[in-house]
Structures are given as structure tokens and as C-alpha cells.
A and B are shown apart, each in its own frame.
Chain A
Amino acid sequence: MTTLDEIAGHFGQYGGRFVPEALIGALEELDAARIKAQTDPTFIAELAALHRTYTGRPSALTEAKRFAEHAGGARILLKREDLNHTGSHKINNVLGQALLTKRMGKKRIIAETGAGQHGVASATAAALMGLECVVYMGEEDTRRQALNVARMKLLGAEVIPVTSGSRTLKDAINEAMRDWVTNVETTHYMLGTVAGPHPFPSMVRDFHKIIGEESREQVLALTGKLPTAVLACVGGGSNAIGIFHRFISDPEVRLIGLEAAGDGVETGRHAATITGGSPGVLHGNRTYVLQDENGQTIESHSISAGLDYPGVGPEHAYLHDIGRAEYRAITDAQAMHAFALLCKTEGIIPAIETAHALAGALQIGNELGPEAILLINLSGRGDKDVQTAAQYFGIPL
């Protein structure tokens, strides 16, 4: 299904570029650089070496047998992106973009962050490659994720709390875009998800598709079969597209994205963009958006800062519309139940983002039973969420 790939930056009616004219030159420069790098043996070798010696790839595949007892007996295979350096899949993308930044001769990177994982990853890559790093983070998120703020500062990054709008990820992106419009000659915008204007959705996916490539081989080696379904949480959708991409051309493999239902999609307090939104334009691309009847963005809600975003990557919007991927919504309560269960059955504390995928695995496993093999992207570790989880479960700190 190679036709699924983008045509001039579009996935069906989604994607594209809706940005101030001032950014077009930088987007074209970036597109040219990433296309050139894709076939450049030096770039490929540099990135592969970083994956191996810095990130610790390939990441492990862990069978979760005790967790599986709660998932209808289905085989549960966890792709351990939480074991990557910096603790999530985000490192895959930032190392690629940092190498591109150097190739474009830029010395400064800016990034947005929600949970702080992409901010930490960006600060890490910047430290490694000697780049100046500024991270925009919603003020609300700096409070929810204070530990990651400290990590970014230790890594030498400047963290700017964003006080406009809902003070979360969407506003951090707005502020990063404003910085970029102003400083585009010297600065690369290290966007952290598969959203934004072309070429970001394609480029970020390409830096994450290694997750699916590795895990497809690992599942085949372990089980002799392809998985019945591949599951991942979806905020902007980078870890999901990363693990989905290699399986898109395996029509027998179900692809299931788990969005954040917050208090419940029916309450209006949620971040389930595909489940509860409609097509529109946000942050430079056409995609599903949580919006009102005037096209104003509606603030999203989720216990998980990393999923608390009212848009979604345009490729997910397309995969949804053509029926190649399914999207379900998981409430805060369902996610926290799965979070606690994985801690106690497998000795793994997942990120709360990731817990949404685990809750999906409990549902799908019970629907499909013991014959099913479920591959789940364990996209991040939960150290950053210990405070939130302790509060949620009433553990005194």
C-alpha cells in the first residue's frame, strides 16, 4: 500500500501547509535536507550509530504474561521504548532532527513539550550536539511535570513557561511557532510529533518507523506470526505512527490507536480528537480538531499531559477515514487502572500516556481471547508521573 504515502505533503485531504508565508522557506529547506539525508549513507550511518551506542536500540520486546491474565489470556508483547535513553520513544525523532539541524548550519533549536518527554529528549540531543535549546511548555504542564522541567534545566536548556490560552501543549506550540517566525534564519523548530506543517508529519514518522520495523521482526522471531493487532496511545500520534507504519501493508494486522477520553468523551472534558472532533486546520495542517461551531479550538482535558492536545497527526486522520486504523477512547480512570496493573503484574511503571494503550490492550484482549497476539508500544516510562499517580491513588508523599 505505497499509495498511502503522502502526495505533496498530503494524506488524502489531510496534512498540507497552513502557515505564515515567512515559514515557507524554512519548511522547504527542511524538506530538502531530510529528503537528501534519507539516501545519504553518512547520515544513515551516523543515526544508526547513535541508535545503537547512545539510545540503546534495538529496544527489547517483553512478553507480559501476568498482565495478560487480565487481558482475556491474549499474548501481550510490549515494545520497550521506555528503556530508551531519556525514557521514551521521543529520542528517535530528536536525534534525527538534531543531525539535520547541524546539516542545515543552524545553531539553535526550539521545541514544545507537553509531558516534558519531548522537551527532555530535545534538551538531550542539543547537549549532545552542542546546540542552544529553548523549550516552550505550558505553565499548567510545568506544574504537572516539575521533574521533567528540572531535567531539561540540568541538560542546559532554557524552559519558557507559556501563559497564553489553556497553558498546555497547544499553546506551547503556538509560542514555538511565533519564536520560529521571528528567528527562522538561525533556528530549527524541533517539532515533537507527527503534526504541524509538511514535512513534519512525514519526517517525524520516518524517524520513528524504526519502532515498527524492529518490533515486526521481534514478534515474528518470537511467535512465528504477525501480531493480531498493534496498539499505541495517540495524542499527536508519533509513537503510534512509529509502530503502525511498518504494518500498514500487512492488511491482516489491526492497527488500534487509543485516545485520551479524560472524564469521558460524552462529558466534553477529553482529548479524543478523532473520536470526538471534526476535520479542521490547526497548527499548520488539516486534520481532526476539537473545535466549536466557529472553528475556535476547544481546550482538551486528560490526566496525561502528553495526550492533552486538541489535534492529531494528519496521517492518523487519513488512516481513520480509510478504515485502515481504528481509534478508541480511554478514560482517565481506565488508564490509571491499567497503569496500576502493569506496575503490580510486570514490575514496569509506564508513562500515563502509555497506560491508555495498556487499557486498550485489556479491552481488545478480552474481546479477542487467547488466540490473539497484541503488540503494544510501551512508549514511555512513568518516573515523571509518580507524583500524579501517587496523588491519584492516595499514596502520601
Chain B
Amino acid sequence: MSTPLDDLFVKVRAENRAALIAYIPAGFPTIEGCKKVIQAFVEGGVDAIEIGFPYSDPVMDGPTIQAAADQSLSQGTNAADVFDALKVATDSGVPAVVMTYWNPIEKYGVEKFAQSIAANGGSGVITPDLTIEESAGWKSAVEKSEINPIYVVAPSTSAQRLPQVTSRCGGFVYAASLMGVTGTRSSVSSGAPDLVARIRETTDLPIGVGLGVSTREQAKGVAGYADGVIVGSAFIKAMQDATNEAEGLKSVRELAQQLSLGVREGR
């Protein structure tokens, strides 16, 4: 069985372009405001949405997403809010996944978490701190719920280890373009094309590139060699920098429009 995310990548490959994948933490800027950001994503033309499960100890995230997670958690965002946000995204007809550190999954119940993803129309889960060595329980849970397990690989992932990780992935492989945490950067790492090429040798799965993408030009560049362009911090900054929510939503929509042009210009 294929997920909406799988179908999306079939479609964008046929269109010879990359998909734009947008990230927002559930409960940011507020629980209701997050749903409006999702709406702005859809209106701006994003192809898929990542809903972040805000976590108290996000070691893969830079200051922008940390601040967003703190703001969300201070309003009491919980698992139910994450699944609500996921449902808002999937109800709008856009494939959506959840990105979460491992402990919230373990606390919620591994099988139950996978079931709740599926029940809310979600296609999969990105797990940035779940190593393949610790993933036995998760593997059987995602198989049972027929959702995509999306693991992150890094430039430092060895040639020997790379196929072990990518063979566990479904939906797409998340390529972290550089050694570092999330956040916007003036340029996307020059190591990213090389990493994508190394991943291609191990799998036919689509490859999404994240970490550091914030502009149309960068999206265009990444779309030249990757199947998906993942943007997170830039959208959060657009909300943080705005003087009010309406203005922030407008910026998000415009940024999404720009980026969605970028992912069509890469080839």
C-alpha cells in the first residue's frame, strides 16, 4: 500500500521537479495559529507538510526552532494537539508527516503513536534521534500501521552504514545537508549534492534535503539534485519577525509561493 507521500513523489518525478516540504511545530505560534500557518502553507503551494512535536530537549535544533518549541510548550501543547494539526494538514489534501524526537513516541506508546498517525491521515514520521539500532519496535509498529519511517542521514554517515539506514526508510530519505543543527544559512552546504549522490547509490527512494534552505534560489539549487526540499526555520522566522499574526501568515504564504517556484526551476 502506498501513502499519500509516496504518491506525491511519483507525481513530482513525473513533473520532473522537486517537492516543497514545509515544517511547523504544533502549537506554534499558538495552537490555533498553527492551523492557520498550515492553511497558509497550502495556499502558498507547498507539496507536503511536516508537523513538529515540540520537545523540551531538542538537540538537533538551532535557536529558531528551540524558541518556537518553547513557545509552543509554554501553552501546553500535547500529543493530541500534534495529531489535530496533522489532521488539519491532511484534511486539506496535502500529504503530511510528524517530526518528533523519540521520547514523546515512547511515552505515548510506540504502536499507539503509529496508529494515531495513520488514523489522522498522516503518511509517516521523521525520527531525528532514533538510530536504526534502537528501531526494532518502531519498525514493526510502522509496518502494522502502514506509514513511512523516515530516518535522517548525515554527511558523516559511513559508506558501510548508509545502506543499512536507507534500507529502513520509507517515503523518502531525509538528508541532513551539513553537520550541524537546524537553522537558516546564507548558503546550502556544498556537501549536500555529494551526500545525495551517495544515498542514490543505496536506494531508489526519493531524497529530501533539509538544514539551511530559506530562499527561492537555494530551493532551486537543491531541486537540481534532490527530490524534496525541506524548509523549517525560515517559515518560523517569518512568523517570529512579523508584528502580528496576520502579517506573519502573509509572509509565510509569500515565502511558500517563492519556494514553490524554486523547486520547479531546478532542472
Residues of A within 8 A of B55 (CB): 295-296
The listed residue (A174, A181, A284) touching B179 by CB distance below 8 A is: A181
A283 an interface residue at 8 Å Cβ cutoff? yes
- B59 contact set on A, CB distance < 8 A: 19-20, 174, 177-178, 181, 283
In the bound complex, residues from chain B placing their C-beta under 8 Å from that of A16 are 131, 133-134
CB neighbours of A155 from chain B (8 A): none
Report the Cα distance A17→B133, complex, angstroms: 8
User: A19 to B70, alpha carbons, bound, how many Å?
Assistant: 21
Using A22-B179, A181-B59, A181-B180 as known contacts, say yes or no to A280 and B106 having CB atoms under 8 A apart. Answer: yes
Mark the stretch among A39-47, A61-69, A286-294, A364-372 that contacts chain B. Answer: A286-294
Q: Tell me the bound Cα distance from A293 to B103 in angstroms.
A: 11
- A164 is an interface residue with CB less than 8 A from chain B: yes
Chain A interface size, under 10 / 10 to 19 / 20 to 34 / 35 or more: 35 or more
Q: Is A25 an interface residue (CB 8 A)?
A: yes
The CA-CA distance from A280 to B102 in the complex, in Å, is 9
Whether, in the assembled complex, A182 has its beta carbon less than 8 Å from a beta carbon of chain B, the answer is yes
Max chain A CB contacts within 10 Å: which of B79, B154, B165?
Answer: B154
Does chain B have a CB within 8 A of A165?
Answer: yes
Q: Is the interface of B mostly helix, strand, loop or mixed?
A: loop
Are A295 and B106 in contact, with the CB atoms below 8 A?
Answer: yes
Residues of A within 8 A of B130 (CB): 18
Nearest residue, chain A, Cβ from B133: A17
Residue in chain B with minimal CB distance to A26: B156
Q: A16-B133, A181-B180, A289-B103 are in contact. Are A25 and B152 (CB under 8 A)?
A: no
Name the residue on B nearest A278 (C-beta).
B107
Interface 1/0 per residue, B50-76 and A, CB below 8 Å: 000001111110110010001001000
Which residue of A8, A21, A178, A182 is within 8 Å of B152 (Cβ)? A21
Q: Decide: A170 and B57 in contact? CB cutoff 8 A.
A: yes
In Å, the complex CA distance between A16 and B60 comes to 18
Contact B179 A178 (CB under 8 A): no
Contact with B along A165-187 (1 / 0, CB 8 A): 10000100010011001111100
| Residue on A nearest B107 in the bound complex, by CB | A295
Q: Are B161 and A20 in contact (CB under 8 A)?
A: no
How far, in Å, is A215 (CB) from chain B's closest CB? 35
Does A24 interact with chain B (Cβ within 8 Å)?
yes
Say whether B156 contacts A184, CB under 8 Å: yes
**Interface contact tally, CB-CB below 8 A:** 113
Q: Interface size (B, Cβ < 8 Å)?
A: 40
* B261, CB-defined interface residue at 8 Å: no
A164 and B68 alpha carbons, distance in the complex (Å):
12
**Complex Cα spacing A16 to B137, Å:** 14
> Given the interface contacts A170-B57, A181-B59, A295-B104, does A20 sit within 8 Å of B78 by beta carbon?
no
Please, which residue of chain B has its CB at the minimum distance from the CB of A27? B131
Do residues B131 and A18 form an inter-chain contact, with CB atoms below 8 A?
Answer: yes
Q: Which of A25, A185, A286, A291 contacts B157 (CB 8 A)?
A: A25
Min Cβ gap B138→A in Å is 11
Q: Are A282 and B156 in contact (CB under 8 A)?
A: no
Q: How far is the CA of A17 from the CA of B153 in the complex (A)?
A: 15
One digit per residue, 1 when the CB lies within 8 angstroms of any chain B CB and 0 when it does not, for chain A 1-34 equals 0000000100000001111111111100000000
- Residues facing B in A209-251 (CB within 8 A) are none
Q: Is the CB of B62 within 8 A of A22?
A: no
The answer to whether A17 and B134 touch across the interface, beta carbons within 8 angstroms, is: yes
A18 touches B104 (CB 8 A): no
A21-B56 contact in complex given A182-B181, A280-B106, C-beta closer than 8 Å: no
Assess whether A111 is interfacial by the CB under 8 Å rule: no
Residues of A with C-beta under 8 A to B190? none
Across-interface contacts of B106 in A (CB, < 8 A): 280-281, 286, 295
Kindly report which residue of chain A lies nearest to residue B128, judged by CB atoms.
A20
Q: Assess whether A297 is interfacial by the CB under 8 Å rule.
A: yes
Contact A294 B152 (CB under 8 A): no
CA distance A181 to B62 in the complex (A): 11
- CB contact list, B84-139 vs A, under 8 A: 102-108, 128-131, 133-134
Q: Which residues of chain B (143-198) have a CB below 8 Å from chain A? A: 151-158, 161, 165, 176, 179-181
- The reply to whether B103 and A24 form a contact with Cβ atoms under 8 Å apart is no
Residues of A within 8 A of B58 (CB): 174
Residue contact B181 to A181, C-beta cutoff 8 Å:
yes
A296 in contact with B73 (CB, 8 Å) = yes
Within the assembled complex, what's the spacing in Å between the Cα atoms of A184 and B152?
Answer: 17
Contact between chains at A294 and B79 (CB < 8 Å): yes
For residue B65, give the distance in angstroms from its CB to the closest CB of chain A.
11
- Chain A residue with minimal CB distance to B63? A164
Q: In the complex, A22 Cα to B59 Cα: how many Å?
A: 12
The reply to whether B66 and A22 form a contact with Cβ atoms under 8 Å apart is no
B contact residues around A297 at 8 Å (CB):
56-57, 103
Closest to B152 in A: A21
* A61 vs B247: C-alpha distance when bound (angstroms): 68
Contact call A24/B56, Cβ cutoff below 8 A: no
Query: Which of A164, A183, A291, A294 counts the most chain B CB atoms within 10 A?
Result: A294
Q: Which residues of A contact B155 (CB under 8 A)?
A: 22
A165-B57, A174-B59 are contacts. A182–B102 as well, Cβ < 8 Å?
no
What are 27 residue pairs bridging A and B, where the CB atoms are less than 8 Å apart in the complex?
A18-B134, A19-B129, A20-B128, A20-B152, A21-B131, A21-B153, A22-B154, A23-B156, A25-B158, A164-B70, A174-B57, A178-B59, A178-B62, A181-B180, A185-B156, A280-B103, A280-B106, A281-B103, A281-B106, A282-B57, A286-B134, A291-B103, A293-B78, A294-B104, A295-B55, A295-B103, A296-B55
Known: A23-B156, A286-B106. 16 other contacts (CB 8 A): A16-B131, A16-B133, A19-B131, A21-B156, A21-B165, A22-B157, A164-B70, A170-B57, A177-B59, A181-B59, A185-B179, A281-B129, A282-B103, A291-B103, A295-B55, A296-B56
Closest 5 CB pairs of A and B: A295-B107, A22-B154, A295-B104, A182-B180, A177-B59
